[in-house]
């Protein structure tokens, strides 16, 4: 990798030991004496690197190990084995210089003081991070302006809607100007307009400060807008690490062929699955390995005005990846 590796993960593993309980009174009494446990492998020997200034999508279904990984990278969880380094630091040591340079934003967690206006929490963060007033005030006001929360920061956080709270949470998490952002579902539960606002804000922060970003999201629009590279994790293991654009080529089992016919009455059922038909335009779904043969047949056998071949939408590919038994 040409740029310096800011995040380095080598065979990182996290195993939780959880108590096992059977239903019924007898089983409950027995469990008091001899408790059974089982191991849950949340993350299994994953390895990757992220370069300075990269914005990487971290994708996977619920329970895949994404949040566990982000918590290990931000120092909230100790790994069971393997190594992680962020900006040269071992996250679990939670050294002051490390904590000053990273942030973790969790869309479903409240990090600001619930009963206080956000401005008061911002002041608390300034004291915790020992930020000079001359550095703090201009950045605070810039972030408030960028996210358009000037009228919200004086209200108690508990009086804000989810979208409003998420915006002031983001301001609070960036006041110390972190170089690495771990964003766990930062747009969850927000309306489309709010999602776009936060998306463009993250892109702007990345450009402005050269920040490195690792982002999880269930909204593929977030990933498509922000990330050229994605890491796909499933059952605690990495399935794919590479260009978002190549994900379809790697995993998609089919392609779509859009055909503009000169005679719209012709049936194309014999060439593949018809997934859309509108006037003279027909969209077929065909197995990837059949694409060249079907395209050749169509051009020879039918009167065609235009023909284009597409990979399936990223959302469909991701769904397919997660559906595969691994």
Q: Each residue of 15-31: pLDDT tens digit?
A: 998 877 666 667 666 66
Q: Each residue of 259-301: pLDDT tens digit?
A: 999 887 888 999 999 999 988 999 999 998 899 999 999 999 9
Q: What is the rounded distance in angstroms from the CA atom of residue 289 to the CA atom of residue 43?
A: 34
| Per-domain boundaries in the chain | 5-248, 253-310
Torsion of CA 77, 82, 83, 84, to 10 degrees: -50
Superfamily name and number for 5-248: P-loop containing nucleotide triphosphate hydrolases (3.40.50.300)
Token look-up 């006041």 returns 175
Give the pLDDT score at 31: 64
Q: What is the rounded distance in angstroms from the CA atom of residue 246 to the CA atom of residue 242?
A: 7
Give the pLDDT score at 139: 92
pLDDT mean across residues, the chain = 89
Contact 165, 47 (CB under 8 A): no
Q: What is the rounded distance in angstroms from the CA atom of residue 144 to the CA atom of residue 165?
A: 13
Predicted TM-score of the model (pTM): 0.80
Closest by CA position to 22, among listed 35, 5, 9: 35
Label residue 1 by pLDDT band (50, 70, 90).
Answer: very low
Q: Each residue of 45-103: pLDDT tens digit?
A: 999 999 999 999 999 888 889 999 999 999 999 999 999 999 999 999 999 999 999 99
Strands 254-261 and 273-278, by their bridges, are unpaired
Q: Each residue of 154-213: pLDDT tens digit?
A: 999 999 988 889 899 999 999 999 999 999 999 887 888 888 989 999 999 999 999 999
Q: How far is CA 151 from the centre of its chain?
A: 29
Strands 304-310 and 254-261, by their bridges, are antiparallel
């Amino acid at each position: 990798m040409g740029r310096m590796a800011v995040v380095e993960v080598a065979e990182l593993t996290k195993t939780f030991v959880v108590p096992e309980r059977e239903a019924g009174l007898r089983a409950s009494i027995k469990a008091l004496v001899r408790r059974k446990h089982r191991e849950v492998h949340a993350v299994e020997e994953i390895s990757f690197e992220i370069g300075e200034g990269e914005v990487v999508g971290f994708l996977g279904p619920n329970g895949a190990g994404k949040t566990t990984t982000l918590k290990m990278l931000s120092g909230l969880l100790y790994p069971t084995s393997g190594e992680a380094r962020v900006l040269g630091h071992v996250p679990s040591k939670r050294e002051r210089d490390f904590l000053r340079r990273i942030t973790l934003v969790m869309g479903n967690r409240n990090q600001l003081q619930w009963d206080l206006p956000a401005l008061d929490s911002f002041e608390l963060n300034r004291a915790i991070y020992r930020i000079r007033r001359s550095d703090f005030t201009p950045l605070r006001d810039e972030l408030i302006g960028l996210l358009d929360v000037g009228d919200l920061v004086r209200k108690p956080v508990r009086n804000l809607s989810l979208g409003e709270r998420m915006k002031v949470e983001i301001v609070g998490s960036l006041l110390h100007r972190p170089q690495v952002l771990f964003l766990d579902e930062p747009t969850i539960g927000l309306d489309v307009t709010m999602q776009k606002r936060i998306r463009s804000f993250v892109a702007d922060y990345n450009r402005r400060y050269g920040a490195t970003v690792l982002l999880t999201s269930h909204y593929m629009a977030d990933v498509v807008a922000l990330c050229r590279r994605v890491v796909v994790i499933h059952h605690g293991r990495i399935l794919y690490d590479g260009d978002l654009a190549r994900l379809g080529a790697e995993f998609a089992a089919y392609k779509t062929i859009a055909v503009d016919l000169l005679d719209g009455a012709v049936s194309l059922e014999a060439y593949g699955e018809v997934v859309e038909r509108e006037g003279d335009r027909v969209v077929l779904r065909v197995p990837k390995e059949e694409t060249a043969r079907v395209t050749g047949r169509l051009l020879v056998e039918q009167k065609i005005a235009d023909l284009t071949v597409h990979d399936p939408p990223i959302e469909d590919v991701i769904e397919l990846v997660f559906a595969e038994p691994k």
